[in-house]
């Protein structure tokens, strides 16, 4: 894996790290259940920051926001409590 990391440009490493963190938060069931509003706001904020820093394209930014909205609706409808 170190060989792969060494071949990445700093911008690529930052993009991978940011997207990884975003998806880790997306999958954080406990946080989603504890406070759906804060969970949603954090996802949107992180997507906006990735856009501001030029780490994602406009389409990727839009898709991240749509995924955040979908996860939020799942949370407020009690989806995590049914599983």
Question: In the chain, where are the structural domains located?
Answer: 14-81
pLDDT-based confidence at residue 7 (cuts at 50, 70, 90): confident
Whole-angstrom distance, CA of residue 46 vs CA of residue 28: 14
pTM of the predicted structure, to 2 decimals: 0.85
pLDDT in tens, 9-42: 888 899 999 999 999 999 999 999 899 999 999 9
Contact between 18 and 55 under an 8 Å Cβ cutoff? The reply is: yes
Whole-angstrom distance, CA of residue 66 vs CA of residue 22: 13
Contacts for 6 with CB less than 8 Å, ≥ 6 apart: none
pLDDT in tens, 40-76: 999 999 999 999 999 999 999 999 999 999 999 999 8
């Amino acid at each position: 894996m170190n060989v792969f990391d060494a071949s990445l440009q700093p911008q690529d490493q930052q993009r991978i790290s940011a997207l990884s963190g975003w998806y880790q938060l997306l999958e954080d069931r406990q946080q989603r259940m504890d406070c759906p509003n804060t969970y949603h706001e954090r996802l949107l904020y992180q997507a906006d920051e990735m856009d501001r820093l030029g780490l994602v394209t406009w389409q990727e930014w839009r898709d991240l926001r749509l995924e955040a909205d979908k996860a939020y609706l799942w949370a407020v409808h009690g989806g995590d409590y049914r599983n």
